[in-house]
């Protein structure tokens, strides 16, 4: 039997990118998926695809920067499926501006609101149910949560905060049976780059990435599923990301240069 057959899996940020690809990849295992994001039309289209592939699906649209929406997502899951086994806290956004180009500090707050506070809110609402099911929490952070990246200061800060929160929560959870698998993707082809905020707080509108040179969302999802199934502590999706963990301690100047080159080369 597949690890996620019958498993109640809540996926935030399911309407696009990594969240969407993860739902599509999980669906053939027969999970009970709860799809969340703001765009209901896209969620319903994904729900139809996932049902056809073998999943039961509940769609719960909402803006997760509102605390009430985080609580409602968990409440709707429990009302419909009666339990919650896996929380994939994936909804996120980014920015693309050097610190000296930023005209409005609101950019930092907006990024932090979704990438950090919404994840904390939904996790706190889900925690009693995850303890009851000895479930999994799967926060989607980033390699930018492990090292600095130029033009991403606010994004890096939000992802460092996320990793710090979950490293602490993992210890608190001790032998509760609830595990934390932190996902740290390197660049992935998704909408996030087009939606990135510029120095004026406006979406870029076009992707700055060399999309043919970076991982697809489907490839990222294929790496995530075994890491989630095996309840691994952390998944880093690229070789340079894995190497960076060690370089940061032993050759921090080198990891700074690798991060600068990744942004300069846009891959």
Ligand X SMILES: NC(=O)c1ccc[n+]([C@@H]2O[C@H](COP(=O)([O-])OP(=O)(O)OC[C@H]3O[C@@H](n4cnc5c(N)ncnc54)[C@H](OP(=O)(O)O)[C@@H]3O)[C@@H](O)[C@H]2O)c1
Residue 253 to residue 8: CA distance in whole angstroms: 44
140 near ligand X (CB under 6 A): yes
Per CB under 6 A, contacts with ligand X among 170-189 are 185, 187-188
Strand segments (E) across the chain: 8-12, 32-36, 56-59, 86-89, 136-139, 179-180, 182-184, 188-189, 215-216, 234-236
Options 26-34, 52-60, 88-96, 167-175: segment touching ligand X (CB under 6 A): 88-96
Nearer to ligand X, 39 or 176 (CB): 39
Residue 33 to residue 37: CA distance in whole angstroms: 13
39 near ligand X (CB under 6 A): yes
Query: What is the total count of residues that contact ligand X (CB under 6 A)?
Result: 29
Options 62-70, 97-105, 164-172, 246-254: segment touching ligand X (CB under 6 A): 62-70
262 within 8 A of 149, measured Cβ to Cβ: yes
Enumerate the β-bridge partners of residue 182.
Answer: 234
197 near ligand X (CB under 6 A): no
Residue where the block lists tokens 């991982």: 215
Among 192, 228, 235, 262, binds ligand X (CB under 6 A): 192
Question: Which among 80, 30, 77 is positioned nearest to 51, based on CA atoms?
Answer: 30
90 near ligand X (CB under 6 A): yes
Say how many CA atoms lie within 13 Å of 112 toward its Cβ: 10
152 near ligand X (CB under 6 A): no
241 near ligand X (CB under 6 A): no
Residues marked active site are found at 155
**Contact positions toward ligand X, by CB under 6 A?**
13-19, 37-39, 42, 63-65, 90-94, 114, 140, 142, 185, 187-188, 190-192, 195
């Amino acid at each position: 039997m597949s690890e996620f057959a019958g498993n109640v899996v809540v996926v935030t940020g399911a309407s696009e990118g990594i969240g969407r690809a993860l739902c599509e990849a999980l669906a053939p295992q027969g999970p009970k998926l709860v799809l969340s994001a703001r765009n209901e039309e896209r969620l319903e289209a994904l729900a139809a695809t996932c049902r056809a592939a073998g999943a039961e699906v509940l769609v719960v649209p909402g803006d997760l920067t509102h605390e009430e929406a985080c609580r409602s997502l968990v409440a709707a899951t429990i009302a419909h499926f009666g339990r919650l086994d896996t929380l994939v806290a994936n909804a996120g956004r980014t920015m693309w501006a050097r610190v000296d180009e930023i005209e409005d500090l609101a950019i930092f707050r907006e990024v932090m609101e979704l990438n950090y506070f919404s994840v904390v809110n939904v996790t706190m609402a889900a925690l009693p149910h995850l303890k009851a099911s000895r479930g999994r929490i799967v926060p989607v952070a980033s390699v930018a949560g492990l090292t600095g990246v130029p033009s991403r200061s606010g994004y890096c800060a939000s992802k460092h905060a996320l990793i710090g929160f979950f490293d602490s929560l993992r210890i608190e959870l001790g032998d509760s049976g609830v595990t934390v698998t932190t996902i740290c993707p390197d660049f992935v082809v998704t909408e996030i780059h087009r939606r990135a905020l510029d120095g004026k707080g406006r979406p870029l509108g076009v992707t700055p990435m060399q999309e043919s040179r970076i991982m697809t969302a489907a490839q990222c999802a294929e790496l995530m599923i075994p890491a989630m199934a095996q309840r691994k502590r952390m998944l880093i999706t690229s070789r340079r990301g894995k190497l960076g963990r060690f370089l940061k301690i032993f050759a921090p100047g080198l990891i700074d240069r690798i991060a600068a080159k990744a942004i300069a080369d846009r891959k």
